[in-house]
A and B are shown apart, each in its own frame.
Chain A
């Protein structure tokens, strides 16, 4: 079965610092991986997705993620954190041929002024 693990349920960075949110996947087949962001009392918004076209994926709001097969990782990064980046971030993988998503436990990002 495919699954994702997010290391660190809480990450705190200073404004302007590098953001690194970790995601490792477990999959017996090439995975399709996603990063979603959730602001308080809101649904999920897609940041970016990996679909095997390129290992470095650029998303919205300056975020990007690199797919590393050798490390089974898909970490999310942003060079410079902004206060508005404070939210919860979820890594997810799809299953089989459907749209069913399996999510990691989430990482709450806090940005200090």
Chain B
């Protein structure tokens, strides 16, 4: 069974540009969450989607947006990139929604903003 696939693995962008990251969850999983990981702030929650609906959103500016498609694949977009957006972006998929539901993480996309 294939795991969570995130593409691309590495990305270098210039300040002011926009970027789109992709996440394909485990087959059959309908919940996708996104996290940002930085040395300074640690792991921070960005969004959670279930059946194409955003269920929760973290405390990030409106430049960060996401969506989920009918096949459960998800994308997140960051517009007007800032140096501080450099981070490892992790996607997690879950079979369903529930407090004790296991989240399976992808290997992440390493974004560097120069």
Residues of A within 8 A of B (CB): 32, 36, 41-46, 49, 51, 90, 94-106
| B94 in contact with A99 (CB, 8 Å) | yes
| A45 in contact with B45 (CB, 8 Å) | no
Distance in angstroms between the alpha carbons of A97 and B65 in the assembled complex: 22
Contact residue among A36, A49, A100, A104 (Cβ-Cβ distance under 8 Å from B100): A49
Shortest Cβ gap from A101 to chain B (Å): 7
Distance in angstroms between the alpha carbons of A51 and B103 in the assembled complex: 14
Cβ contacts B91-103/A at 8 Å (1 or 0 each): 0101001111111
Query: Which B-chain residue is minimally distant from A90 (CB atoms)?
Result: B43
Please give, as numbers and ranges, the residues of chain B lying within 8 Å of A42 by CB-CB distance. Answer: 107-108
| B107 in contact with A100 (CB, 8 Å) | no
Count of CB-CB pairs between chains A and B under 8 Å: 69
Residue B33 at the chain A interface, CB threshold 8 Å: yes
Residues of B within 8 A of A (CB): 4, 31, 33, 35, 42-43, 45, 48, 50, 55-56, 58, 90, 92, 94, 97-108, 110
Shortest Cβ gap from B94 to chain A (Å): 5
Please give, as numbers and ranges, the residues of chain A lying within 8 Å of B94 by CB-CB distance. Answer: 99
Query: Which A-chain residue is minimally distant from B33 (CB atoms)?
Result: A99
Decide yes or no: A97 and B105 within 8 Å by CB, A103-B42, A103-B43 being known contacts.
no
Q: Which 8 A-B pairs have the closest CB atoms?
A: A43-B105, A103-B43, A51-B100, A44-B105, A32-B99, A94-B99, A43-B107, A32-B100
